[in-house]
Structure 1
Amino acid sequence: MRDRFSVWGTRPESVTLLVDGRRVPMERGADDWWRPVVGAGDPPLPDGEVDFGFLLDDDPTPRPDPRSRRQPDGPHGLSRTFDAAAFAWSDAAWTGRQLAGSVVYELHVGTFTPDGTLDAAIDRLDHLVGLGVDLVEVMPVNAFNGDHGWGYDGVAWFAVHEPYGGPAAYQRFVDACHARGLGVVQDVVYNHLGPSGNYLPLFGPYLASGDDDLWGDRINLDDDGSADVRRLVLDNARMWFTDFHVDALRLDAVHALGDDSRVHVLEEMAIETAALSAHLRRPLTLIAESDLNDARLVTPREAGGFGLNAQWSDDFHHAVHVALTGETSGYYADFAPLSALAKVCERGFFHDGTWSSFRGRQHGRPIDTERMPSWRLVVCNQNHDQVGNRARGDRLGHTLDDDQLVCAAMLTLLSPFTPMVFQGEEWAASAPFPFFTSHPEPELGAAVAEGRLSEFERMGWDRDLV
């Protein structure tokens, strides 16, 4: 049984709890969970909101809780307790939101309003209702290094980024969405941990052996000690559904989840989410972002699939983009014929076992369109990736005229798939949306910049002109 001050750790030989300025020894159980030991004559552990951390072996610097619910001073500081049950929800009548038939709107909290907070975003929700949006997809809000960023380099998965308002503000945001009939999709990242503020390896084998991902350290899902690491992932998914009442999770880059276990972590998540959905009596949805073009992700488990509910189709974006802009560099090259757009609209994927010149190999698997409902594919003509990963972060509005933009919207909204709109698209926003971070460490900023330039070169863009 885990209490709020216990921590899993196989690597340290000793762990001391530092709570409210007091040192409390901890004892290691057979399950490798360390629990505080309070002597008969010692005062009890403090109740209520309190800051705490863990002293590992002889290291004098306290480390944050791997399952920290708040990081008020950022990922390098002490953790702070948070009572999720203290919030007075007003959504008791909320019955959920099905993905089928819905329109999704993707937003980034930090740039959605001038204030860049969850509370400020609440004031814009009526605008989304007026647009006809059904589900609000929020880019990652887990705690990450620096004040500003996309959020995909998070290191404290259970904590809501403090500059956005922290966990209480997130509860207010979801509650406000539900009051307006809007469901919430939370974007989560389980394939890697960010490059700064990641102290999990000090506690146990959280990271996979081998080369790191471009974005950070890969997660150990199938090697020694992976059972508790998998539990961390699954418990985090459950937290968003239970403590924060979200309706769906968008699972970032699932193709980067290295897992050779008998039951893949995605399938295990699908099993647990389906059970939780039945218990809560409202639909809970898992949406995969994957570049594999593999319908097995959304194939029912009984038919040999993973049992997720939906996945993104980047091929739709690429086909629409090429048809309207004529751009054929990088991965756009294979989508030059207009027939590519027709195939995507009919079959869901363009690359369904076909040759990919960008990858230099065959790519994808065909979709059985007789069996798989088309709403299981989420499509768009712009999103954070496809805009932000361009060399200048330029939107379609920088290239297309109004009639062409209307055509892009029409193709997306009237497609047989689940349409998604990116923030600002509704008024052809001209502000670019480039990838950005605010790492305090200069060397990290330089490394990110160099990595981005290398990515741009692969797409055929001249790094000297970026």
Structure 2
Amino acid sequence: MGITRAIGAAYTAEKGTTFTVWAPDAQQVEVIISAPETTSLTLQKEAFGYWTGSSDKVLPGARYKYRLNNETERPDPASQFQPDTVHAASEVIDHGKFTWTDENWKGIPLEKFIIYELHVGTFSEEGTFEGIIKKLPELQELGITAIELMPLAQFPGERNWGYDGVYPFAVQNSYGGPEGLKNLVNACHEKGIAVILDVVYNHMGPEGNYLNDYGPYFTKKYNTPWGAALNFDDAHSDHVRNFFLQNALMWLRDFHIDALRLDAVHAILDMGSKHFLQELQEHVSQLGEQLGREFTLIAESDLNDVRLLNPIDKGGYGLAGQWMDDFHHAVHTLVTGEREGYYEDYGDPDQLVKTLQHGFIYNGIYSEHRKKTLGTDASGNPAKQFVVCIQNHDQVGNRMLGERISQLVSFEKLKLVAGLVLLSPYTPMLFMGEEYGEDNPFLYFVSHTDENLVELVRKGRKEEFSAFSWKGEAPDPQALDTFQKSKLQHSYHQQEQQKQLREYYKELIKIRKAAAVFAQPDHSKLQAHFDKATQVLQFTHLSPTPHLHCLVNFSDQPQHVTVPQQAGSEWNILLNSSDQQWGGNAAGSEATESETNSFLLQPESLLTLQSKK
């Protein structure tokens, strides 16, 4: 493995605070302490351009900046807390003082993950870690086993999705800072819930980004949608890689995070002999061995490339999992009829069959939207490695009006798609509010202080929507109202239909946890068929017994369907989405089995069966 070195301000009771910063071109580096009193500490230059120094007089709570060449003062690139703004002083924190209560927590395996993606600022009324803690009993009762937090790295202002973070080591101050996050992780582990953190290693936000003042963190070799690429393979890249490796290890070691979701790894541009993602996995595995825990890395990628997942000894990067957009797009196009933008590559029902059985739809075939051949064969990879959903922050928030699927399809179809996600062989993920059909949108919002930057963001959003014929005016990302409209209402307590939908989700999750076929889900043991005449999808989990069989009626008409004899001789009905208890119009007897294995499916419904033997 490459160069590894601790960076930032590290406090211990024995040594006080040790400061380490990488600034290879600097001639002089000082730490300027501004609180509790003004003082300075001159750092010593070491190999590769690292500067370091210690003081037993600098205690937790001290505010500081680095002064470069006796003129430029900047916050610490590896700041662990920015209590004021992205432009203000960093603060020394003490990881040792926090009282952890999760010593018995050993984590949960990936195949047991039922993920709930949430945005801290909009999930609760408070918009803080404490607000999430108050609602953990509801998530536990729903059956969630892992929450996924959108990025927490300090960003400008108080409103942001998190992908404009500029201090990867600093927990957003308006959410509750480092201690607030630790309290949340403690509370989650106490309730048997794992914590996944979304981290961004493919770009940095614009406002408050002072990395260029320190060194060549960026390279001109490549460009990304966000500008110059981070330097993972050019001159001095060892130390940029170290910066992000140390970041990942900090979240897992110091905050007891269970898993990291790696944002848009296709934009981590690295042509070196060992890809950064492989090196990251090696370091994470080593930390897991040291601590006796298993940490999980899940990538987001639009390349459909199993190299991310394949073992390192077989030429892969060894990551545990990746998001699978193909599944979302196949389902979304079938239930909404949308075919614009990247959806033009989808809409054929046979694609849904393909993704259920083989993973990637684009597995080495031509993409009309991209005008090129895309993807690799994922049929040999374990099903648990693929995270699937019908909603996430991107697929909702990158719509011009931020409509959730509850605003796009009927109530019956909401239940249908929920069943497809939770009864698929893959690792399911819900987006906050999905479980009860939240009405409020999830819009794109920022709170930059640079008005020129705000105008660029507004312009960029409008250009992003040009491939779609969405009607209306794009909400202003900078407006406070845009953020407030995106907050969850948690209205299922007052609305009967929302309560029924949430109970239905609970039942689906209960089935997933109880059915033997999901103990080690295997898409190679799944059979699927779509009848285009009736618009009914059937898919069967064949191993182990008892088998699980799902019938999904996409049409707006009732359909009589016969389950093939070879799939099982007798069936019990586990769940009928059209039952009255789930807000449907059918009495339970309307879908009873007969000697011919024939069933009546209500319009836009899902019927789940389990073999009797």
Structure 1 residue 100 corresponds to structure 2 residue 111: yes
357-366 vs 28-37, which deviates more? 28-37
Amino acid at match of 2:220: S
Work out the CA distance in 1 between the residues paired with 2:62 and 2:474: 50
Work out the CA distance in 2 between the residues paired with 1:215 and 1:434: 20
1:389 match = 398
Work out the CA distance in 2 between the residues paired with 1:457 and 1:241: 40
Work out the CA distance in 1 between the residues paired with 2:226 and 2:360: 26
Compared CA separation, residues 37 and 280, structure 1 to 2 (3 A): closer
227-236 vs 8-17, which deviates more? 8-17
Work out the CA distance in 2 between the residues paired with 1:256 and 1:246: 24
1:449 Cα offset (Å): 1.3
Q: Conserved in 1, the CA contact under 8 Å of 2:25 and 2:49?
A: no
1:57 match = 69
Amino acid at match of 1:453: K
Q: Conserved in 2, the CA contact under 8 Å of 1:153 and 1:216?
A: no
Structure 1 residue 71 corresponds to structure 2 residue 82: yes
1:49 Cα offset (Å): 2.1
SS in structure 2 opposite 1:24? strand
Q: Conserved in 2, the CA contact under 8 Å of 1:331 and 1:358?
A: yes
1:36 Cα offset (Å): 3.5
1:460 Cα offset (Å): 4.6
Q: Of 199, 213, 222, which aligns to 1:188? A: 199
Q: Conserved in 2, the CA contact under 8 Å of 1:252 and 1:288?
A: yes
231-240 vs 349-358, which deviates more? 349-358
Aligned residues: 458
1:412 match = 421
Q: Note the 1:201-240 alignment, pairs <5 A.
A: 201-210=212-221, 212-215=223-226, 217-240=228-251
SS in structure 1 opposite 2:112? coil
Structure 1 residue 302 corresponds to structure 2 residue 319: no
Structure 1 residue 270 corresponds to structure 2 residue 281: yes
Q: Deviations over 1:61-94 (max 9, x none)?
A: x211111110011211100001112110000000
Work out the CA distance in 2 between the residues paired with 1:227 and 1:48: 30
Work out the CA distance in 2 between the residues paired with 1:215 and 1:125: 35
1:426 match = 435
Q: Of 178, 182, 187, which aligns to 1:167? A: 178
Work out the CA distance in 2 between the residues paired with 1:302 and 1:294: 17
Q: Of 146, 165, 175, which aligns to 2:157? A: 146
Which protein is bigger by CA-based radius of gyration? 2
Work out the CA distance in 2 between the residues paired with 1:124 and 1:268: 37
Structure 1 residue 29 corresponds to structure 2 residue 40: no
Q: Conserved in 1, the CA contact under 8 Å of 2:249 and 2:284?
A: yes
Q: Conserved in 1, the CA contact under 8 Å of 2:81 and 2:177?
A: yes
Structure 1 residue 374 corresponds to structure 2 residue 383: yes
Work out the CA distance in 2 between the residues paired with 1:464 and 1:232: 41
Structure 1 residue 401 corresponds to structure 2 residue 410: yes
Work out the CA distance in 2 between the residues paired with 1:312 and 1:148: 26
1:47 Cα offset (Å): 2.4
Unaligned runs of 5+ in 2: 11-17, 476-613
Work out the CA distance in 2 between the residues paired with 1:216 and 1:463: 29
Work out the CA distance in 2 between the residues paired with 1:465 and 1:26: 49
1:450 Cα offset (Å): 1.0
Compared CA separation, residues 211 and 274, structure 1 to 2 (3 A): closer
Work out the CA distance in 1 between the residues paired with 2:126 and 2:387: 30
Structure 1 residue 46 corresponds to structure 2 residue 55: no
Work out the CA distance in 2 between the residues paired with 1:165 and 1:429: 25
SS in structure 2 opposite 1:52? strand
Compared CA separation, residues 275 and 450, structure 1 to 2 (3 A): same
Q: Note the 1:451-466 alignment, pairs <5 A.
A: 451-461=460-470
Compared CA separation, residues 63 and 454, structure 1 to 2 (3 A): same
Q: Which one scores higher on RCO, CA 8 angstroms, separation ≥ 6?
A: 1
1:11 Cα offset (Å): 2.2
Structure 1 residue 10 corresponds to structure 2 residue 24: yes
Two-structure CA RMSD over aligned residues (Å): 1.6
Q: Conserved in 2, the CA contact under 8 Å of 1:353 and 1:363?
A: yes
Query: Higher strand proportion, which one?
Result: 2
Structure 1 residue 82 corresponds to structure 2 residue 99: no
Compared CA separation, residues 359 and 463, structure 1 to 2 (3 A): farther
Unaligned runs of 5+ in 1: 39-43
Work out the CA distance in 2 between the residues paired with 1:381 and 1:394: 13
Q: Deviations over 1:361-380 (max 9, x none)?
A: 1111111x2x3111100000
What TM-score does the superposition give when structure 1 sets the normalisation length? 0.95
Q: Deviations over 1:192-224 (max 9, x none)?
A: 010111111111111121564333552100111
